[in-house]
Structure 1
Amino acid sequence: MMRHLVSIGEMLIDFIPDQKGKSLAEVKTFTKMAGGAPANVCAAFAKLGGKAYFMGQVGQDGFGDFLIKTLKDAGVDTSYIKQTLDAKTALAFVSLKENGERDFIFYRNPSADQLFSEKDIDVDVLEHSILHFCSVSLLGYPISKMHEKIINEAKQKKAIISFDPNIRKALSLDDTFYRSIVLDYIKHADIVKISDDELFFITGFDYKQDALRFLSKYNIPMLIITRGKDGVDIIINGQTIHEDGLAVKVVDTTGAGDAWIGSFLYQIAFHDNIIDIPSVTLQEYMKISNIFAALTTTKFGAIDAMPTQEELEKHL
């Protein structure tokens, strides 16, 4: 039986600039898009046909209503999303470089997502699930305490635990503190996805082999290193599997990593034990996720840019 996905953490509004190659001081107009890495992953999983639940909180405001509707339209079960009057929905303003890479300014101090607490969670949904989370919510309170509780519950229910740090240094005043939190939660994960840039921040090493040697002591069952156009590596059972990237005309990289891991989790959801998946099967999953993520970068935004199952199949 296929596992379902439970994704926890932040959901926010991304304001994407209508002009590329300009700083936030120079951009004149923005387009409102649904975002937040855990929400993006949830949408990717659901768009491919999987059962996906998002657990988190938004403000009881127009932005919160928009986010809930966007996830519903993507096929996500939103029954575990709370709305509050105690804080507003988080906002992120994005500037796009000519190559589609981004810079961020966040407005969330505190925002509604950070006030989601352990009393708001339902642990029954964790049965036969994949639990996915990111690092942004580990910097807020009380949502960080909620993560501790739900991860412990997920372990007891033998869920697969997936962690994508999705580092946002703009949200932390102390890189050392941020790094220590990420490393602490890596210990609890069955799957860890890190971009090549994040690899050096998280480990503190400047060279890939040194960084990977450092991470090896954490005995991560499946370590995924995404490398943009250069493809992806998976380190599992003492071997490294590589799949080349795809060359596409990049419009916006927002949500590309989320699209990758969301589509990958959908594929491994058909397996009970990730370490028993044959290498040749993993390689095929990597290829499909590379296509899914590449297609996402050809449009603006994250969730709205993700292909459906039918759109993906046209490129397989």
Structure 2
Amino acid sequence: MIDVTAMGEVLIDFTDAGISDAGQKLFERNPGGAPANVLVALQRLGHQTAFLGKVGDDMHGRFLRATMEADNIDARGLLTDPSYFTTLAFVALDEQGDRSFSFARKPGADTQITTDELDTRLIAESRVFHIGSLSLTDEPARSATFAALDVARSAGCVMSYDPNYRANLWPGVEAAMEQMRAVVPYMDIMKMSDNECELLTGRRDPAEAARALVSGGVKVCCVTLGSEGALVCTKDGVTAVPPFKTEAVDTTGAGDSFWGGFLAAFLESGLAPAEVALDEAVGMARMGNAVASLCVRKRGGIPAMPERAEVLGVLA
């Protein structure tokens, strides 16, 4: 049994790394992509994962496959396509470690996975099926994502969603809202950032947005609040979960690491989503906050995901 299978993008984050001796900006090649980051976090916390997606037949695609295999992620569902280039993201950091993005994805290989290329056996063998929202930006990946969700729901998987809004990958905010909201009815558990609340629900206040999703059928909803920690919402109510103090170097992967920690604690609870009480959700979010507090101390997404012993040290 696979604990979590995720579908979506695995890509290169070329992260701002200062200035060269010649006065030119330097970029550091870091493996990333939100669903892949979540899986690496889970693997390092002791859970078995699998990935569905596509990379190009190029140096970056080969590097990403090797990176996932080095973390023991089942990469049978990661396809290589010689017709498209692996997606690249160039990440600029400000003094607080916050990011802005520029993408080379016109189209990227991650958007070109088709329904008939899905390894449905991996989905059906999974306890949790997880997606982000970047696979919804373009066809054929959008249709493949909905097909995968149908397979997962039929197989009885717990359905997990972490939208990852990147404005410059959508034709407009209306299109983003339509597609990002379209998958919510499938979901049992989900996370969003505070700046995605209005996109997903029409409500700017995080607590109100979380309540709206739970009243609409989501069993457990989390909202990450940056340096302020997170809040969680179940049928029992909503409450804040304070962060662990940390010095942020690079916030790339912070939300993904949080969700990896949350999913690990959820899996270890043995509970079904509808059984998760508010105090239990708080414990899961506390695990997520601990993982995120360690992730942001290092550069990059995948390279910064901590080991379980480090996380337990923070929790202690």
TM class by shorter-chain length? over 0.9
Residue 277 of structure 1 is matched in structure 2 by 276
Deviation at 1:211, TM superposition (A): 4.0
| Alignment partner of 2:73 out of 71, 76, 94 | 76
Gap regions ≥5 residues in structure 2: none
- Write the deviation string for residues 165-210 of structure 1: whole angstroms up to 9, x where unpaired: 1111110121011101111111111112111111123334444465
What are the within-5 Å matches in structure 2 for residues 300-315 of structure 1? 300-315=299-314
Is this contact kept in 1: 2:44–2:306, CA < 8 A? Answer: yes
Distance in 1, Cα, partners of 2:51 & 2:2: 15
Residue 14 of structure 1 is matched in structure 2 by 13
Give the partner amino acid of 1:223: C
What are the within-5 Å matches in structure 2 for residues 214-225 of structure 1? 214-215=212-213, 218-225=216-223
| Alignment partner of 2:196 out of 189, 195, 198 | 198
Is this contact kept in 1: 2:41–2:260, CA < 8 A? Answer: yes
Q: Which moved more, 1:172-181 or 1:205-214?
A: 205-214
- Write the deviation string for residues 236-287 of structure 1: whole angstroms up to 9, x where unpaired: 1141132101221100000000001012112212324122134433322221
Residue 29 of structure 1 is matched in structure 2 by 26
| Identity level (%) | 30
User: Aligned residue pairs: how many?
Assistant: 310
Alpha-carbon spacing, 1:275–1:213, altered in 2? closer, same or farther (3 Å): closer
Residue 287 of structure 2 is matched in structure 1 by 288
Deviation at 1:47, TM superposition (A): 1.1
Residue 90 of structure 1 is matched in structure 2 by 87
- Write the deviation string for residues 79-125 of structure 1: whole angstroms up to 9, x where unpaired: 21110101010000010011011000001111111111111112222
Say whether 1:165 aligns with 2:159. Answer: no
Q: Which moved more, 1:179-188 or 1:295-304?
A: 179-188
Give the partner amino acid of 2:288: S
Give the partner amino acid of 1:294: S
TM-score (norm 1): 0.93
Residue 133 of structure 1 is matched in structure 2 by 131
Is this contact kept in 2: 1:17–1:27, CA < 8 A? Answer: no
Distance in 2, Cα, partners of 1:301 & 1:310: 20
Give the partner amino acid of 1:253: T
Deviation at 1:3, TM superposition (A): 5.7
TM-score (norm 2): 0.93
Gap regions ≥5 residues in structure 1: none
Alpha-carbon spacing, 1:106–1:128, altered in 2? closer, same or farther (3 Å): closer
Alpha-carbon spacing, 1:285–1:208, altered in 2? closer, same or farther (3 Å): closer
Distance in 1, Cα, partners of 2:110 & 2:255: 21
Say whether 1:45 aligns with 2:42. Answer: yes
Is this contact kept in 2: 1:10–1:57, CA < 8 A? Answer: yes
Say whether 1:104 aligns with 2:133. Answer: no
Distance in 2, Cα, partners of 1:238 & 1:280: 9
Distance in 2, Cα, partners of 1:85 & 1:28: 30
Distance in 2, Cα, partners of 1:254 & 1:187: 28
Alpha-carbon spacing, 1:212–1:79, altered in 2? closer, same or farther (3 Å): closer
Is this contact kept in 2: 1:154–1:161, CA < 8 A? Answer: yes
Is this contact kept in 2: 1:11–1:58, CA < 8 A? Answer: yes
Is this contact kept in 1: 2:257–2:305, CA < 8 A? Answer: yes
Deviation at 1:219, TM superposition (A): 2.4
1:109 is paired with a residue whose SS is coil
RMSD over equivalenced CA pairs, Å? 1.9
Alpha-carbon spacing, 1:80–1:209, altered in 2? closer, same or farther (3 Å): closer
Residue 62 of structure 2 is matched in structure 1 by 65
Alpha-carbon spacing, 1:76–1:243, altered in 2? closer, same or farther (3 Å): same
Is this contact kept in 1: 2:230–2:241, CA < 8 A? Answer: yes
